[in-house]
Structure formats: C-alpha cells, structure tokens
Copies of this chain bind each other. A is one copy, B any other.
Amino acid sequence: MKRTLLALFLLLLSAMTGWAQAQPQVPATVSSPEVHSDGSVTFRFRDPNAHEVMLTLEGAKPAPMQKDDQGVWSLTTGPLEPDFYGYSFVAEGVGLIDPSNPLMKPNLLHTQSQVHVPGPSSLPWEIGDVSHGLVHHHFYKSGVVGDQRDFYVYTPPGYDPRAKQSYPVLYLLHGFSDDASGWTSVGRANVILDNLIAQGKAKPMVIVMPLGYGAPEIVMQGLGAFATELRKRNYDRFIQALLTEVIPQVEASYRVLKDRNSRAIAGLSMGGAETLLTGLNNLDKFAWIGAFSSGGLAEDFDADFPGLDAKANQQLRVLWVSCGTDDGLIALNRKLRAWLDSKGVHQTGIETAGGHTWMVWRRNLADFSGLLFK
C-alpha cells in the first residue's frame, strides 16, 4: 500500500522537482517480505509472464509460489523460528533477489536476499541495547596471492587503541562463495559478540575475518575444483597469506595478545577445512580451534594432518568439530571425528539440529566463542 503511494509520489514528484534521474525505475509495488506476528512470512514477487516461480528459503526445500490475477507470485510460510534467513525467487532456473527488500546477502556466486524474523533480545543475533563494538575494513595488496584484497576486524566495546589493555583474537573464516563480509553481513558476528560480551558470556576479544581464498579463481571454477590441484593451491596460499600477511598486520595495528593461548581460529564449511588445516598444523600458533560444518577436505586425513597424535592434547585448549545432522557433510564430519579419536586427539564433537545454513553457524559462533580464552 505504501509502495503504491510511493510509486505515485515518485512519478508526480519527479516531474515536479527534477529528481527523476535519482529514481531510475518504478520500484516494485508489492510488499515483500511481510513478517507476521507468529513468525510466518509472506513473500511476494511480481512476474506476470513467468510459468513457475519457486521460493528458495535457507533451510527449507524449494517451494512453488502461487500467482494471483495481478501477476504477483506469493507464498506464506508456516511460523519460522526467529532468525535471519537467506532466500531468492527462482524463475525459470534463475535465482533473483527480492526487488522489494533492501537487505541483500552478498555472495560471489549467487546473491540472495535476507529476511529477519525478529525474536526476543535473548537471541544473540538480535541488536541489543548494549554497547557496540566496531567493524574495521582493511585493504591491502597480497604478495602471496598477487591481488588487492580485504579483511574485516571486529573490536569489542570499550576497545581503545590508546589504552594499555590487550585482547585475545579469534580468526574467523567464511565458506565457499562468500566474500570477506560474510561473517558480519550475514553471520552477524559483531552483533553476537556485542551481546555475549555484555552478558558476560564471552570474553572481550578481537575477531579477524579475512578473505578465504588463496586462489580466488576457485570460486568461478566451482566446487569441481575441490578435486584438483587448484584446491591445494587455494588452501596453501590462504594459509600462507593468513600467517605471513594478515596476522602480522593485525598484530602491528591492534592491541592484541600474541601468545598461542590468546589465538583462536574457526570457520564454516570451506572455512572449517581451512581452520583445521591451519590450526592443527600450527599448534604453536593456535590453542583454540573450531570447525563448523567443514567441507572441502580431501578425506585423506593422514596426508592433511601429518604427524598429528595425542601429543596435541597438551596444546589444544578446545578442538571443536560440529555439524548439523541434516547437513550433507555430516558423514564427512563423523569420519573426521572418528579419525581424530583413532589418533587419540581429544575433541568437542557437536551434532546440532539443522543443515548447511547460517542459522546453524550463528549458533555455533555463539556457543564456540563462549568457550574461548577462559
């Protein structure tokens, strides 16, 4: 309704004021997504000529939308748990973001929209009436990879570069096809830590979120490249860039503790594999390791983690290996945990509800970060 008025106003006003060029198109006049008080959500998308439009909603099976006589496709879900969900409209196999929704989900392969089903302030990803930390966006030229790239740094509430207090650091890695903004723009890592720190559930810490590709061309090559030499180069150069470029920049620029007991590493999916490859092979640098829904390991664990054995238990403060039971990667993760058991390496093995989704990873981060540096 407001959108319809808006469209009228735009036409009227652009003629009057000359702002027409600021309004390059008539916005979609449908309201979407509409979140109802019971947590159900109505999605709407105007596409009068499509034969079929499917809703792809994170954590759910693709579902057909219904068209009305105005050419507007819609679907109302059942009540959803409070959370943020990625979604897109798939028309003839083409995934489209919701043109009525400004909340986008960045991704290098398939951009989507996000819908927020609000919940109580006890949920860690809800913006609370608490002090907020900062997110710093860094840019640098990588000698290891040979490109201009970026990383993000979260500093907790009260962090003061001019004060003497120093903080432990969590290096937090995104998944395949995400960009470096994934853990903040989708994972809400800064919001989660603001809340946990305010509640005393997590220690104040710095979080560093680097770009997770040592061979960025792997994104366009797709998952097929994970069976190739490119996979190895992607991981090797990622680890080298992290250890020799990102960590030194962070430790030179921020008040952070530099001992292994003050350094954690965690990541999701491909970032979980990178976490294990980095952390378990560099126990002199990391005491806390968290692998969320890991994927992209070659499953030759003896080759990936040469020499790893029970001696690692003396250095590992936490080795967390989690996966959702509806995740296609659950078998790989169980295999990994069994292999760690066979080597006598202690681990916190976690199986949660859920699939290969950010709903799982936000909870993983909240739980894992609460264990750190204690």
Contacts and interface: CB of A to CB of B under 8 A. Distances in A.
Interface of A: 2, 5-6, 8-10, 12-14, 17-28, 45-51, 56, 58, 62, 71, 86, 88, 90-97, 99, 101-102, 104, 106-112, 127, 129, 132-141, 148, 161-162, 175-177, 179, 190, 220-227, 269, 295, 326-332, 355-357
Contact of A25 (B2, B56, B136): B56
Contacts of A51: 49
Contact of A135 (B99, B102, B112, B137): B137
Contacts of A139: 127, 132-134, 190
Contact of A224 (B12, B133, B179, B330): B12
Contacts of A91: 47
Contact of A176 (B22, B58, B92): B22
Given A6-B222, A93-B26, A99 B86 contact: no
B13 A92 contact: no
A18 B137 contact: no
A106 B105 CA distance: 11
A226 B19 CA distance: 12
Nearest to A28: B94
A336 B308 CA distance: 73
Query: What 3 A-B pairs are tightest by C-beta distance, nearest first?
Result: A18-B328, A9-B224, A21-B356
Nearest to A268: B22
Contact of A95 (B9, B25, B56, B221): B25
B226 A13 contact: yes
